[in-house]
Protein backbone atom coordinates (compact mmCIF):
# COMPACT_ATOMS: atom_id res chain seq x y z
CA UNK A 1 0.00 0.00 0.00
CA UNK A 2 1.32 3.41 -0.99
CA UNK A 3 0.50 6.78 0.52
CA UNK A 4 1.45 10.17 -0.84
CA UNK A 5 1.93 12.96 1.71
CA UNK A 6 1.66 16.63 0.74
CA UNK A 7 0.63 19.82 2.54
CA UNK A 8 0.62 23.61 2.58
CA UNK A 9 -0.71 24.25 -0.92
CA UNK A 10 -1.91 27.75 0.03
CA UNK A 11 -4.15 27.92 -3.03
CA UNK A 12 -4.99 31.53 -3.83
CA UNK A 13 -1.74 32.97 -2.51
CA UNK A 14 -0.10 35.71 -4.56
CA UNK A 15 3.50 36.86 -4.54
CA UNK A 16 3.82 40.63 -4.13
CA UNK A 17 0.56 41.14 -5.98
CA UNK A 18 1.33 38.67 -8.77
CA UNK A 19 -1.30 35.89 -9.04
CA UNK A 20 -0.02 32.33 -9.19
CA UNK A 21 -3.01 30.54 -10.74
CA UNK A 22 -0.91 28.93 -13.47
CA UNK A 23 1.68 27.62 -11.01
CA UNK A 24 -0.99 26.06 -8.80
CA UNK A 25 -2.75 24.53 -11.81
CA UNK A 26 0.45 22.99 -13.12
CA UNK A 27 1.36 21.61 -9.69
CA UNK A 28 -2.02 19.92 -9.26
CA UNK A 29 -1.83 18.47 -12.77
CA UNK A 30 1.65 17.16 -11.96
CA UNK A 31 0.33 15.69 -8.71
CA UNK A 32 -2.42 13.82 -10.58
CA UNK A 33 0.19 12.38 -12.96
CA UNK A 34 2.43 11.38 -10.03
CA UNK A 35 -0.44 9.67 -8.20
CA UNK A 36 -1.20 7.66 -11.34
CA UNK A 37 2.42 6.81 -12.14
CA UNK A 38 3.21 5.76 -8.57
CA UNK A 39 -0.10 3.88 -8.19
CA UNK A 40 -0.80 5.71 -4.94
CA UNK A 41 -3.57 4.18 -2.81
CA UNK A 42 -4.08 6.99 -0.28
CA UNK A 43 -3.46 10.73 -0.61
CA UNK A 44 -2.87 12.71 2.59
CA UNK A 45 -3.08 16.53 2.56
CA UNK A 46 -1.90 17.89 5.90
CA UNK A 47 -3.53 21.30 6.07
CA UNK A 48 -3.35 24.83 4.68
CA UNK A 49 -5.17 23.87 1.52
CA UNK A 50 -6.06 27.51 0.98
CA UNK A 51 -4.13 30.63 1.89
CA UNK A 52 -7.10 32.43 3.41
CA UNK A 53 -10.32 31.46 5.18
CA UNK A 54 -12.36 32.85 2.27
CA UNK A 55 -10.40 31.75 -0.82
CA UNK A 56 -10.97 33.29 -4.26
CA UNK A 57 -13.18 31.47 -6.75
CA UNK A 58 -10.28 30.34 -8.94
CA UNK A 59 -8.62 28.66 -5.93
CA UNK A 60 -11.84 26.80 -5.11
CA UNK A 61 -12.20 25.74 -8.74
CA UNK A 62 -8.67 24.30 -8.74
CA UNK A 63 -9.33 22.40 -5.51
CA UNK A 64 -12.60 20.76 -6.50
CA UNK A 65 -11.44 19.99 -10.03
CA UNK A 66 -8.38 18.27 -8.56
CA UNK A 67 -10.45 16.14 -6.17
CA UNK A 68 -12.67 15.03 -9.05
CA UNK A 69 -9.62 14.07 -11.12
CA UNK A 70 -8.16 12.07 -8.22
CA UNK A 71 -11.35 9.98 -8.13
CA UNK A 72 -10.58 8.80 -11.67
CA UNK A 73 -7.09 7.54 -10.78
CA UNK A 74 -5.78 4.47 -8.98
CA UNK A 75 -6.01 6.41 -5.67
CA UNK A 76 -8.77 4.96 -3.49
CA UNK A 77 -8.94 7.51 -0.66
CA UNK A 78 -8.05 11.15 0.07
CA UNK A 79 -7.76 12.41 3.65
CA UNK A 80 -7.63 16.18 4.18
CA UNK A 81 -7.18 18.05 7.44
CA UNK A 82 -7.51 21.79 7.99
CA UNK A 83 -4.50 23.94 8.74
CA UNK A 84 -4.33 27.23 10.61
CA UNK A 85 -4.92 29.18 7.37
CA UNK A 86 -8.06 27.20 6.54
CA UNK A 87 -11.60 27.91 7.65
CA UNK A 88 -12.84 24.66 9.25
CA UNK A 89 -16.48 25.39 8.37
CA UNK A 90 -15.65 26.29 4.77
CA UNK A 91 -13.52 23.18 4.30
CA UNK A 92 -16.06 20.80 5.81
CA UNK A 93 -19.20 22.33 4.24
CA UNK A 94 -19.15 19.88 1.26
CA UNK A 95 -17.84 16.95 3.36
CA UNK A 96 -20.91 14.74 2.80
CA UNK A 97 -20.72 15.29 -0.96
CA UNK A 98 -16.98 14.64 -1.06
CA UNK A 99 -17.44 11.34 0.77
CA UNK A 100 -19.04 10.04 -2.43
CA UNK A 101 -15.59 10.50 -3.98
CA UNK A 102 -13.92 8.79 -0.98
CA UNK A 103 -12.59 12.12 0.25
CA UNK A 104 -12.52 12.54 4.05
CA UNK A 105 -12.28 16.07 5.44
CA UNK A 106 -11.61 16.89 9.11
CA UNK A 107 -11.76 20.62 9.72
CA UNK A 108 -11.58 20.93 13.50
CA UNK A 109 -11.23 18.86 16.65
CA UNK A 110 -14.19 16.48 16.96
CA UNK A 111 -16.35 16.26 20.07
CA UNK A 112 -15.81 12.51 20.00
CA UNK A 113 -12.12 12.02 19.22
CA UNK A 114 -12.90 8.59 17.78
CA UNK A 115 -14.34 10.45 14.78
CA UNK A 116 -10.80 11.55 13.93
CA UNK A 117 -9.82 7.91 13.41
CA UNK A 118 -10.63 6.58 9.94
CA UNK A 119 -10.29 2.95 8.86
CA UNK A 120 -9.70 2.97 5.11
CA UNK A 121 -10.67 -0.04 3.00
CA UNK A 122 -9.88 -1.14 -0.51
CA UNK A 123 -12.35 -1.90 -3.30
CA UNK A 124 -12.90 -5.42 -1.92
CA UNK A 125 -13.71 -4.05 1.56
CA UNK A 126 -10.38 -5.21 2.98
CA UNK A 127 -8.78 -2.76 5.45
CA UNK A 128 -5.81 -0.80 4.11
CA UNK A 129 -4.77 1.50 6.93
CA UNK A 130 -5.91 3.42 9.98
CA UNK A 131 -5.55 7.18 9.69
CA UNK A 132 -5.58 9.50 12.72
CA UNK A 133 -6.75 12.67 10.96
CA UNK A 134 -5.89 15.31 13.56
CA UNK A 135 -6.45 18.84 12.20
CA UNK A 136 -4.86 22.07 13.40
CA UNK A 137 -5.86 22.26 17.05
CA UNK A 138 -6.93 25.69 18.23
CA UNK A 139 -6.26 26.79 21.79
CA UNK A 140 -9.90 26.33 22.80
CA UNK A 141 -9.67 22.69 21.67
CA UNK A 142 -6.78 21.73 23.92
CA UNK A 143 -6.65 23.93 27.00
CA UNK A 144 -8.87 25.73 29.48
CA UNK A 145 -8.33 29.45 30.01
CA UNK A 146 -7.65 30.85 33.47
CA UNK A 147 -7.24 34.50 34.37
CA UNK A 148 -3.77 35.67 35.29
CA UNK A 149 -1.93 32.92 33.44
CA UNK A 150 1.61 33.68 32.36
CA UNK A 151 2.87 32.92 28.85
CA UNK A 152 4.90 30.04 30.28
CA UNK A 153 1.84 28.54 32.01
CA UNK A 154 -0.17 28.80 28.78
CA UNK A 155 2.61 27.08 26.89
CA UNK A 156 2.81 24.21 29.36
CA UNK A 157 -0.95 23.64 29.16
CA UNK A 158 -0.86 23.78 25.35
CA UNK A 159 1.86 21.15 25.14
CA UNK A 160 -0.02 18.94 27.60
CA UNK A 161 -3.24 19.40 25.60
CA UNK A 162 -1.57 18.51 22.31
CA UNK A 163 0.05 15.43 23.81
CA UNK A 164 -3.21 14.26 25.41
CA UNK A 165 -5.17 14.74 22.18
CA UNK A 166 -2.76 12.57 20.17
CA UNK A 167 -2.61 10.00 22.97
CA UNK A 168 -6.38 9.55 23.00
CA UNK A 169 -6.71 9.40 19.22
CA UNK A 170 -3.84 6.93 18.84
CA UNK A 171 -5.18 4.76 21.69
CA UNK A 172 -8.43 4.38 19.79
CA UNK A 173 -6.49 3.67 16.58
CA UNK A 174 -4.67 0.89 18.40
CA UNK A 175 -8.00 -0.58 19.52
CA UNK A 176 -9.18 -0.51 15.91
CA UNK A 177 -5.95 -2.17 14.83
CA UNK A 178 -6.45 -5.00 17.33
CA UNK A 179 -10.12 -5.41 16.38
CA UNK A 180 -9.27 -5.68 12.68
CA UNK A 181 -6.59 -8.26 13.37
CA UNK A 182 -8.96 -10.34 15.48
CA UNK A 183 -11.56 -10.27 12.69
CA UNK A 184 -9.00 -11.54 10.21
CA UNK A 185 -7.97 -14.31 12.58
CA UNK A 186 -11.63 -15.42 12.82
CA UNK A 187 -11.50 -16.16 9.10
CA UNK A 188 -8.08 -17.83 9.42
CA UNK A 189 -6.44 -14.99 7.55
CA UNK A 190 -2.82 -14.22 8.33
CA UNK A 191 -2.02 -10.54 7.97
CA UNK A 192 0.31 -7.93 9.37
CA UNK A 193 -1.21 -5.34 11.73
CA UNK A 194 -2.74 -2.43 9.85
CA UNK A 195 -0.39 0.56 9.67
CA UNK A 196 -1.34 3.50 11.87
CA UNK A 197 -0.81 6.77 10.03
CA UNK A 198 -1.21 10.02 11.96
CA UNK A 199 -1.67 13.49 10.52
CA UNK A 200 -1.23 16.91 12.06
CA UNK A 201 -0.72 20.60 11.46
CA UNK A 202 1.62 21.97 14.09
CA UNK A 203 5.09 23.31 14.85
CA UNK A 204 7.47 20.61 16.03
CA UNK A 205 10.45 21.51 18.20
CA UNK A 206 13.55 22.29 16.17
CA UNK A 207 11.56 22.86 12.98
CA UNK A 208 13.27 24.88 10.25
CA UNK A 209 11.66 28.00 8.79
CA UNK A 210 12.74 30.83 6.52
CA UNK A 211 12.24 34.57 6.86
CA UNK A 212 9.16 35.79 4.97
CA UNK A 213 7.86 32.28 4.22
CA UNK A 214 4.49 33.16 5.74
CA UNK A 215 4.63 30.52 8.51
CA UNK A 216 2.63 31.98 11.40
CA UNK A 217 3.23 31.38 15.07
CA UNK A 218 0.46 28.94 15.96
CA UNK A 219 0.22 29.92 19.59
CA UNK A 220 1.22 32.95 21.64
CA UNK A 221 4.74 32.38 22.90
CA UNK A 222 7.20 29.74 21.74
CA UNK A 223 6.68 26.98 24.30
CA UNK A 224 4.02 25.06 22.39
CA UNK A 225 6.52 23.21 20.22
CA UNK A 226 6.35 19.47 20.69
CA UNK A 227 9.18 17.04 20.10
CA UNK A 228 9.06 13.60 18.55
CA UNK A 229 8.88 12.04 22.00
CA UNK A 230 5.44 13.62 22.49
CA UNK A 231 3.84 11.40 19.83
CA UNK A 232 2.60 7.89 20.69
CA UNK A 233 4.90 5.02 19.77
CA UNK A 234 2.27 3.16 17.76
CA UNK A 235 2.43 5.69 14.90
CA UNK A 236 3.99 4.07 11.83
CA UNK A 237 4.10 7.28 9.80
CA UNK A 238 3.37 10.89 10.82
CA UNK A 239 2.31 13.25 7.99
CA UNK A 240 2.68 16.83 9.14
CA UNK A 241 1.93 20.22 7.68
CA UNK A 242 2.66 23.86 8.61
CA UNK A 243 6.41 24.17 7.97
CA UNK A 244 7.28 24.94 4.35
CA UNK A 245 10.74 23.35 4.36
CA UNK A 246 10.68 19.53 3.85
CA UNK A 247 12.18 17.93 6.96
CA UNK A 248 12.03 15.15 9.50
CA UNK A 249 10.93 15.66 13.09
CA UNK A 250 14.08 15.21 15.11
CA UNK A 251 15.91 12.11 13.93
CA UNK A 252 12.76 10.11 13.13
CA UNK A 253 12.66 9.35 9.43
CA UNK A 254 8.98 8.29 9.68
CA UNK A 255 7.83 11.63 11.12
CA UNK A 256 7.82 14.10 8.22
CA UNK A 257 6.93 17.56 6.99
CA UNK A 258 6.40 17.40 3.24
CA UNK A 259 6.78 21.19 2.95
CA UNK A 260 4.97 23.51 0.56
CA UNK A 261 4.85 22.56 -3.14
CA UNK A 262 5.61 26.12 -4.31
CA UNK A 263 8.14 28.56 -2.89
CA UNK A 264 6.21 30.96 -0.66
CA UNK A 265 8.90 33.65 -0.79
CA UNK A 266 12.02 34.52 -2.75
CA UNK A 267 14.05 33.08 0.11
CA UNK A 268 12.76 29.63 -0.94
CA UNK A 269 13.60 30.18 -4.62
CA UNK A 270 16.50 27.71 -4.69
CA UNK A 271 14.87 25.17 -2.39
CA UNK A 272 13.86 21.78 -3.77
CA UNK A 273 10.18 21.14 -3.09
CA UNK A 274 8.84 17.62 -2.71
CA UNK A 275 6.09 15.17 -1.88
CA UNK A 276 6.65 12.05 0.19
CA UNK A 277 5.83 8.48 -0.85
CA UNK A 278 5.52 5.93 1.96
CA UNK A 279 5.19 2.33 0.77
CA UNK A 280 3.95 -0.14 3.40
CA UNK A 281 4.81 -3.76 2.65
CA UNK A 282 5.27 -6.83 4.85
CA UNK A 283 5.29 -4.89 8.10
CA UNK A 284 7.86 -2.30 7.05
CA UNK A 285 7.70 1.10 5.37
CA UNK A 286 9.93 2.46 2.62
CA UNK A 287 10.01 6.25 2.33
CA UNK A 288 10.95 8.16 -0.81
CA UNK A 289 11.03 11.83 -1.72
CA UNK A 290 9.86 12.99 -5.14
CA UNK A 291 11.07 16.40 -6.25
CA UNK A 292 8.40 18.76 -7.59
CA UNK A 293 9.31 20.62 -10.80
CA UNK A 294 9.65 24.40 -10.66
CA UNK A 295 6.73 25.86 -12.54
CA UNK A 296 7.88 29.47 -12.31
CA UNK A 297 11.49 30.47 -11.86
CA UNK A 298 12.19 32.91 -9.01
CA UNK A 299 15.47 34.70 -8.50
CA UNK A 300 16.78 36.97 -5.78
CA UNK A 301 19.45 39.43 -6.94
CA UNK A 302 21.57 41.40 -4.49
CA UNK A 303 24.37 43.91 -4.89
CA UNK A 304 25.26 47.34 -6.19
CA UNK A 305 23.94 48.64 -9.50
CA UNK A 306 26.73 47.16 -11.61
CA UNK A 307 26.41 43.74 -9.94
CA UNK A 308 22.64 43.71 -10.41
CA UNK A 309 22.96 44.69 -14.08
CA UNK A 310 25.53 41.94 -14.64
CA UNK A 311 23.21 39.31 -13.15
CA UNK A 312 20.27 40.57 -15.17
CA UNK A 313 22.25 40.35 -18.41
CA UNK A 314 23.19 36.75 -17.57
CA UNK A 315 19.53 35.88 -16.95
CA UNK A 316 18.44 37.51 -20.20
CA UNK A 317 20.68 35.11 -22.08
CA UNK A 318 18.56 32.20 -20.77
CA UNK A 319 15.46 33.63 -22.48
CA UNK A 320 13.23 32.21 -19.73
CA UNK A 321 10.42 33.71 -17.67
CA UNK A 322 11.88 34.73 -14.31
CA UNK A 323 10.31 36.69 -11.46
CA UNK A 324 12.86 38.85 -9.67
CA UNK A 325 13.39 40.28 -6.23
CA UNK A 326 16.14 42.88 -6.26
CA UNK A 327 17.93 43.99 -3.12
CA UNK A 328 20.07 47.06 -3.76
CA UNK A 329 22.92 47.15 -1.24
CA UNK A 330 25.13 49.79 -2.85
CA UNK A 331 26.25 52.81 -0.85
CA UNK A 332 25.22 55.36 -3.48
CA UNK A 333 21.69 56.67 -3.30
CA UNK A 334 19.79 55.77 -6.50
CA UNK A 335 16.40 57.52 -6.27
CA UNK A 336 15.23 56.28 -9.69
CA UNK A 337 16.21 52.65 -9.06
CA UNK A 338 12.87 51.29 -10.33
CA UNK A 339 13.14 53.04 -13.69
CA UNK A 340 16.78 51.99 -14.13
CA UNK A 341 15.93 48.37 -13.41
CA UNK A 342 13.01 48.47 -15.85
CA UNK A 343 15.37 49.70 -18.55
CA UNK A 344 17.69 46.77 -17.82
CA UNK A 345 14.76 44.35 -18.25
CA UNK A 346 13.69 45.71 -21.63
CA UNK A 347 13.05 43.08 -24.34
CA UNK A 348 13.27 40.17 -21.91
CA UNK A 349 11.02 37.69 -20.14
CA UNK A 350 12.20 38.97 -16.78
CA UNK A 351 9.75 40.65 -14.42
CA UNK A 352 10.66 42.43 -11.20
CA UNK A 353 8.12 41.93 -8.41
CA UNK A 354 9.95 43.68 -5.62
CA UNK A 355 12.85 46.07 -5.10
CA UNK A 356 14.41 46.88 -1.76
CA UNK A 357 16.41 50.10 -1.93
CA UNK A 358 18.12 49.94 1.42
CA UNK A 359 20.41 52.92 0.89
CA UNK A 360 17.66 55.41 0.08
CA UNK A 361 14.82 54.23 2.32
CA UNK A 362 16.38 52.69 5.40
CA UNK A 363 13.96 52.68 8.32
CA UNK A 364 10.88 53.92 6.42
CA UNK A 365 7.71 51.84 6.86
CA UNK A 366 5.55 53.01 3.92
CA UNK A 367 6.63 54.77 0.73
CA UNK A 368 5.10 55.74 -2.57
CA UNK A 369 6.31 52.67 -4.40
CA UNK A 370 10.08 52.65 -4.16
CA UNK A 371 11.98 51.21 -1.23
CA UNK A 372 10.56 49.54 1.83
CA UNK A 373 6.83 48.93 1.94
CA UNK A 374 4.42 47.07 4.18
CA UNK A 375 5.22 43.95 2.11
CA UNK A 376 8.68 44.08 3.68
CA UNK A 377 7.36 44.01 7.23
CA UNK A 378 4.93 41.87 9.20
CA UNK A 379 2.36 43.18 11.63
CA UNK A 380 4.80 42.88 14.52
CA UNK A 381 7.47 44.98 12.78
CA UNK A 382 4.89 47.69 12.17
CA UNK A 383 3.77 47.64 15.80
CA UNK A 384 7.38 47.93 16.99
CA UNK A 385 7.82 50.96 14.73
CA UNK A 386 4.65 52.51 16.18
CA UNK A 387 5.93 52.03 19.71
CA UNK A 388 9.19 53.68 18.76
CA UNK A 389 7.53 56.52 16.84
CA UNK A 390 5.32 57.37 19.85
CA UNK A 391 8.24 57.26 22.31
CA UNK A 392 6.73 54.48 24.40
CA UNK A 393 9.08 53.76 27.35
CA UNK A 394 11.23 50.69 26.73
CA UNK A 395 10.15 49.08 30.00
CA UNK A 396 6.52 49.03 28.75
CA UNK A 397 7.16 47.68 25.27
CA UNK A 398 7.46 43.98 26.12
CA UNK A 399 4.07 43.89 27.87
CA UNK A 400 2.42 45.86 25.07
CA UNK A 401 3.92 43.57 22.44
CA UNK A 402 2.70 40.50 24.31
CA UNK A 403 -0.83 41.90 24.49
CA UNK A 404 -0.68 42.81 20.81
CA UNK A 405 0.41 39.26 19.90
CA UNK A 406 -2.56 37.84 21.81
CA UNK A 407 -4.95 40.13 19.90
CA UNK A 408 -3.48 39.17 16.51
CA UNK A 409 -3.56 35.49 17.46
CA UNK A 410 -7.23 35.70 18.51
CA UNK A 411 -8.09 37.22 15.12
CA UNK A 412 -6.40 34.32 13.30
CA UNK A 413 -8.21 31.80 15.51
CA UNK A 414 -11.67 32.98 14.51
CA UNK A 415 -13.54 31.23 11.70
CA UNK A 416 -15.38 33.95 9.71
CA UNK A 417 -17.51 31.30 7.97
CA UNK A 418 -18.81 29.72 11.17
CA UNK A 419 -22.40 30.23 12.29
Dump pLDDT digits (tens) for 51-78.
999 999 999 999 999 999 999 999 999 9
Residue 369: per-residue pLDDT: 43
Look at residues 94, 91, 187, 70 and name the one whose alpha carbon lies nearest to residue 133.
91
One of 2.40.37.10, 3.30.70.260, 3.30.470.20, 3.30.160.720 is the CATH number of 297-413, namely 3.30.160.720
CA distance 351 to 297: 11
CA distance 211 to 51: 18
Compute the C-alpha angle 413/415/419, nearest 5°: 140
Task: Name the CATH topology of 2-291.
Answer: Purple Acid Phosphatase; chain A, domain 2 (3.60.21)
370 contacts 338 by C-beta, under 8 angstroms? yes
Residue 364: per-residue pLDDT: 46
Q: Tell me where in the chain the CATH 3.60.21.10 domain(s) lie.
A: 2-291
Residue 217: per-residue pLDDT: 62
Residue 92: per-residue pLDDT: 95
Q: Tell me where in the chain the CATH 3.30.160.720 domain(s) lie.
A: 297-413
Residue 363: per-residue pLDDT: 43
Cα distances (angstroms) measured from residue 95 to each of 89, 103, 201, 241, 415: 10, 8, 19, 20, 17
CA dihedral 299, 322, 260, 209 (to 10 degrees): 10
CA distance 41 to 64: 19
Residue by residue, pLDDT tens for the chain (419 residues) are 999 999 999 999 999 989 999 999 999 999 999 999 999 999 999 999 999 999 999 999 999 999 999 999 999 999 999 999 999 999 999 999 999 999 999 999 999 999 999 999 998 888 999 999 999 998 888 876 666 667 677 778 888 889 999 999 999 999 999 998 888 777 656 667 899 999 999 988 776 766 665 565 655 455 556 788 889 999 999 999 999 999 999 889 999 999 999 999 998 888 999 999 999 998 889 999 999 999 999 999 999 899 999 999 999 988 889 999 999 888 887 878 888 999 999 889 999 999 887 665 554 444 444 444 555 556 666 777 787 777 677 766 666 766 666 666 555 566 666 65
Q: What is the pTM of this model?
A: 0.85
Range list of β-strands (E), 212-358: 237-241, 247-249, 252-257, 274-281, 284-291, 297-303, 322-328, 350-357
Residue 232: per-residue pLDDT: 93
Amino acid sequence: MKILHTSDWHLGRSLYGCKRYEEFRRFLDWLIDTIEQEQVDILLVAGDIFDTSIPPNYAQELYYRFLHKVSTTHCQHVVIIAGNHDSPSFLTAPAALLRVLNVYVVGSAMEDLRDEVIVLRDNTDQPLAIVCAVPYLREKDIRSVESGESVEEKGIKLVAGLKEHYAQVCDYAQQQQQDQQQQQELYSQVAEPLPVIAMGHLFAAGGKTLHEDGVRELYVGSLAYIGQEMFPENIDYLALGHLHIPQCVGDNNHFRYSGSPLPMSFGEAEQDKQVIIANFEKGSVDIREITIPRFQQLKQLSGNLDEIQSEIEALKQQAESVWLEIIYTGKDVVPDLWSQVEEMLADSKLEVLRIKNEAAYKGIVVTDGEGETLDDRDEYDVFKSCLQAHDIPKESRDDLMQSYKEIIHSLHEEDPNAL
